[in-house]
Amino acid sequence: MGTRTCHRVYLGSLMTTFDLNTDSVRALNQSLHDASSGHTSVTKPGGQHCIACGIDAALEVSIDGHVGYYCAGMNQEAHITITGNAGPGVAENIMSGTVRVKGNASQYAGASGHGGTLIIEGDASSRCGISMKGVDIVVAGSVGHMSAFMAQKGRLVICGDAGDFLGDSIYEACIYVRGAVGELGADCIEKEMTDQHVQDLTQLLAATGIDAAADEFRRYGSARKLYHFDIDHANDY
Amino acid sequence: MTTDNKSLRPSATFSQHVLDEIHRAADEGIYEIRGFGAKRPLPNFDDLVFLGASMSRYPLEGYREKCATDVVLGTRYAKKPIELKIPITIAGMSFGALGANAKESLGRAATAMGTSTTTGDGGMTEEERQASKTLIYQVLPSRYGLNPDDVRRADALEVVVGQGAKPGGGGMLLGHKITARVAEMRDLPEDIDQRSACRHPDWTGPDDLKIKIQELREITDWQIPIFIKVGATRVSYDVALAVKAGADVIVVDGMQGGTAATQDVFIEHVGIPTLPAVRMAVDALQELGMHRKVQLIISGGIRSGADAAKALALGADAVSIGSAAMVALGCNRAVFIEDYAALGTAPGYCHHCHTGRCPVGITTQDPQLEARLQPEQGARWVRNYLSTMVLEIQTLARACGKSHVLNLEPEDLVALTVEAAAMAKVPLAGTDWIPGSNE
Ligand code: SF4
């Protein structure tokens, strides 16, 4: 198992360290799956895939460096911080807990996430929040094209700009954008930003530690015109 | 003027069915959406026959000499491969398309027979997990209801790339089937027409899929097998790429495979029949030296022990049934005729799963209709049907002198048509001619 080391930190809680230059991702994930509490520090991730996926406990995980595909996939309860950039599908299908990317994220960040919170402090690439089903995603920077494609539930907050076809075929998810928005996707429209929305967004921004004023955002959602197939809307698809 | 019978000549090009379809399209302005599988005639396993044992081979005694039927799936990477008593599994069908009683019936029957059943688009229900000893959990493009708790309590995962009824198409569930429970499992509002995605949200090609599979293995600690299911189109490439992507088991679903709701044009005009698909898949596995190492499940229009035995003889490790299991549950049975009539159809012709008004209580969420299918009775029917299929496979295998059904081989088969000979790569009966192979 290489050079994995355990050492004690404050008040007796156990800090486990994995150096992925020598330890395997398999050994790391098995350790995370076997743990019910504690803090794991991951160093030299080297862009490897599937780091810290499938956790099912309120663990603290800090990853120091860049990660490859599907980091924190299907996360439940854990709080995972990536001090670096994340490859495609970070926090895909997240159920609960928090995943924070301190750098940029590649395609499909938070894809089909059911719950929990994904925070991206840099930019996110295309298809951010694709097929999302209840997760809250807050992006401090901008997002690429086709973000929130077929988004069903949850909130996608974009503090920068949004690429083309935002919210294409969106269902009941809610999108907030502070910057410029490219062409909107099919059935996605701008909606009224009520006081309630400003209040909700203020809370979400505060909870995620992203410094932005909620009243500067616009809100987008579904026109609900494609919910029932209508031949006269066939060209909208 | 009376009609002159000599002038009543139907057009082969514009047959009555074609005329009706054009009239329907002109009236409605939308393609036909329906359930069930391809209805047109296609080359199929009926075009093959077995060469029973004779002077050169010994048959086995029926009822006396053993003919084993067990099969193990997922021996490549999984720590816990699936051990089945019979080489017939129940294919993925969604809760939503099917009612809970139908799912439970299938689970109970599969468990009693020592085989597996499969979830579908819409997630895993508690009823089917409880009813099924061995349950395969599908990972579909829509990701409806997908969650890691169910991933961990599944006995295998099946990444669905496509299905035979509609390779390249996504699912469809029309609003009237979306009850509160179905809507909640899918995180969508009630009553809307649901168009499930046709592509996965977080991977696009085989290189990505390889990493996706690595993720699923990591989440499940490499314990359970991972299947990849493809609709039969470019089978040779798809099978080779599935092997490369790291599949333990590959499911190839031919165009006769059923669906709960898709465009008729998709069902009838996309994909290739199951018969050539088996041979292409086996050839691809053999070329890679992976035949029997990565197991092959064949589905799409399997109706009988004879169909299953022929698929096994061509090199499949197991077959999977969907539509046939529904027929065993009573689909198209001549009961509640007036309810078929209310749908504008009759027993024997029904393909109205998409309406949610299934007369026999299978593909419905309506409690009154669903009550027509009691899980105990349904399980009994499916069990009887599976037992019959197994006896048929054993009968054919013993006749060919095989003590295990997986010992059936292509040399036991000949074809009755030139097309079947070319597709299955077995000789045309009475000749040594395999079109395309040894001319
Ligand atoms: S009888 Fe029921 S299951 Fe069979 S085709 Fe008709 S609606 Fe579908």
Per-domain boundaries in chain A: 7-236
Put simply, whether A171 touches B (Cβ < 8 Å) is yes
Atom 6 (ligand 1) nearest CA: B350
CB contact under 8 Å between A231 and B30, yes or no, is: yes
Searching chain B, which residue's CA lies closest to the CA of residue A170?
B188
Put simply, whether A219 touches B (Cβ < 8 Å) is no
Best mutation site among A42, A114, A153, A237 for testing chain B: the one with the most B CBs within 10 Å?
A: A114
Q: DSSP 3-state assignment of B105?
A: helix
> Cα(A160)–Cα(A175) distance, rounded to whole angstroms?
13
**Mean pLDDT, rounded, for A37-55:** 98
* Residue corresponding to tokens 């390889």: B210
Considering only CB atoms, which chain B residues are within 8 Å of A92? 201-202, 215
Query: What is the predicted pLDDT for the residue at B303?
Result: 97
Distance B126 CA to ligand 1 centre (A): 24
> Cα(B331)–Cα(B419) distance, rounded to whole angstroms?
31
Distance B33 CA to ligand 1 centre (A): 14
Percent of chain A topping pLDDT 70: 91
Put simply, whether A208 touches B (Cβ < 8 Å) is no
Distance B256 CA to ligand 1 centre (A): 16
Query: What is the predicted pLDDT for the residue at A11?
Result: 46
Whole-complex ipTM: 0.93
Searching chain B, which residue's CA lies closest to the CA of residue A228?
B193
Structural tokens at position B409: 């081989």
**Contact, B102 vs B379, CB < 8 A?**
no
Distance B296 CA to ligand 1 centre (A): 29
Q: What is the dihedral of CA B16, B22, B24, B30, to 10 degrees?
A: 150
Searching chain A, which residue's CA lies closest to the CA of residue B207?
A69
Query: What is the predicted pLDDT for the residue at A234?
Result: 60
Selecting from B193, B202, B203 the residue whose C-beta is nearest the C-beta of A227 gives B193
Average pLDDT, rounded, for chain A: 93
Distance B128 CA to ligand 1 centre (A): 20
> Residue A233 — very low, low, confident or very high, per pLDDT cuts 50/70/90?
low
Which atom of ligand 1 lies nearest, measured to the CA of B329?
A: 3
* Cβ of B212 below 6 Å from ligand 1: no
> Residue A3 — very low, low, confident or very high, per pLDDT cuts 50/70/90?
very low
Q: Is the pLDDT of residue A74 over 90?
A: yes
Which atom of ligand 1 lies nearest, measured to the CA of B361?
A: 2
Best mutation site among B186, B216, B219 for testing chain A: the one with the most A CBs within 10 Å?
A: B219
Query: What is the predicted pLDDT for the residue at B275?
Result: 98
Please tell me the distance in Å from A27's CA to the nearest CA on chain B: 10
| B37-330+373-424 homologous superfamily | Aldolase class I (3.20.20.70)
Best mutation site among B215, B216, B220, B262 for testing chain A: the one with the most A CBs within 10 Å?
A: B215
- Give me the half-sphere count of Cα atoms (radius 13 Å) on the Cβ side of residue B270: 16
**Contact, A72 vs A99, CB < 8 A?**
yes
Please tell me the distance in Å from B364's CA to the nearest CA on chain A: 19
Considering only CB atoms, which chain A residues are within 8 Å of B29? 231
A97: left (phi over 0), alpha (psi -120 to 50) or beta: left
Please tell me the pTM assigned to this model: 0.94
Query: What is the predicted pLDDT for the residue at B180?
Result: 83
Query: What is the predicted pLDDT for the residue at B410?
Result: 97
Long-range contacts, stretch A52-55, CB < 8 angstroms, 24+ apart: A52/A28, A52/A78, A52/A80, A53/A29, A53/B215, A53/B218, A53/B219, A54/A29, A54/B148, A54/B151, A54/B215, A54/B218, A54/B219, A54/B220, A55/A80, A55/A97
Query: What is the predicted pLDDT for the residue at A53?
Result: 98
Q: Is the pLDDT of residue A210 over 50?
A: yes
Hey, CA dihedral for B279, B283, B284, B286, is it positive or negative?
A: positive
Searching chain A, which residue's CA lies closest to the CA of residue B192?
A227
Class at the top of the CATH hierarchy for domain A7-236: mainly beta
A142-171: pLDDT as tens digits:
999 999 999 999 999 999 999 999 999 999
| Chain A residues 95-134 with a CB less than 8 Å from chain B | 95, 107-108, 111-112, 114, 127, 130-131, 133-134
Hey, CA dihedral for B59, B63, B67, B73, is it positive or negative?
A: positive
* pLDDT tens sequence for chain B (439 residues): 677 887 888 999 999 999 999 999 999 888 888 888 899 999 999 999 999 998 888 899 888 899 999 999 999 999 999 999 999 999 999 888 899 999 999 999 999 999 999 999 889 999 889 999 999 999 999 999 999 999 999 999 999 999 999 988 887 677 777 788 888 888 888 878 777 889 999 999 999 999 999 999 999 999 999 999 999 999 999 999 999 999 999 999 999 998 878 889 999 999 999 999 999 999 999 999 999 999 999 999 999 999 999 999 999 999 999 999 999 999 999 999 999 999 999 999 999 988 899 999 999 999 999 999 999 999 999 999 999 999 999 999 999 999 999 999 999 999 999 999 999 999 999 999 999 885 5
